[in-house]
Chain A
Amino acid sequence: DAMVIQNPRYQVTQFGKPVTLSCSQTLNHNVMYWYQQKSSQAPKLLFHYYDKDFNNEADTPDNFQSRRPNTSFCFLDIRSPGLGDAAMYLCATSSGQTYEQYFGPGTRLTVT
């Protein structure tokens, strides 16, 4: 059974056209994370939520925003995608009580 679900798996957007990626979880975990992973690179943390407490990484561009309307869902909004934002976007969750992060399958974003 899928525990961390990301939709869509592949997303194509135009340069400058806002796009939203979604993540949902069935684990009831407190913490949700968004990572950006460019080709052949390590995942880079963009931000995370502990419940409704939002934590932005210092070097995350303003172009990236996030929303978490409830425990199960978290969204990544890219307000004006540039060519450099093409990447795999990974969502992960954690209970906040243990060390393990559970990752979703990722959304591969293409910017044309």
Chain B
Amino acid sequence: AQKITQTQPGMFVQEKEAVTLDCTYDTSDPSYGLFWYKQPSSGEMIFLIYQGSYDQQNATEGRYSLNFQKARKSANLVISASQLGDSAMYFCAMREGQWRSSASKIIFGSGTRLSIRP
């Protein structure tokens, strides 16, 4: 069974510093995808970044990058030059298996609450 673990319930970071949010996963399927979502206090889930299990390079999207270490089964999110607006809950998530009609679902980790100090 697939599993996502986020061991940091909360983090405080000074504005403009880089921050790394940890995520480890467990799956027996060789084909999977890893996601990071941001959830501000308004409640909406905002997609940040995706990494496929067969992708050779680490994914990057603007200030977000995913440090994918397949052998360690880790997919940490790195936010460079943090901003006050980055304060939110961050969820790591995983899709297991090939994209098919009956199994196209994602499971989420427990989340990390990130607070940026001015």
Contact = CB atoms under 8 A, between A and B. Distances in A.
10 contacts: A31-B104, A41-B110, A42-B91, A42-B110, A45-B107, A48-B104, A50-B101, A50-B104, A103-B45, A105-B42
Q: Contact size class for B?
A: 20 to 34
Given A45-B106, A45-B107, 10 more contacts: A42-B110, A88-B43, A99-B35, A99-B50, A99-B99, A101-B106, A103-B44, A103-B47, A105-B42, A108-B43
Interface string B77-114: 00000000000000100010001011011111111000
B91 A43 contact: yes
Contacts, number: 60
Interface of A: 31, 33, 40-45, 48, 50-51, 53, 55, 88, 90, 92, 94, 96-106, 108
Contacts of B109: 42
A96 B44 contact: no
A67 to B, nearest CB: 19
A90 B104 contact: no
B101 A45 contact: no
A21 B43 CA distance: 16
Closest 7 CB pairs of A and B: A42-B108, A103-B45, A50-B101, A106-B43, A105-B44, A99-B33, A43-B108
A1 B105 CA distance: 25
B47 A96 contact: no
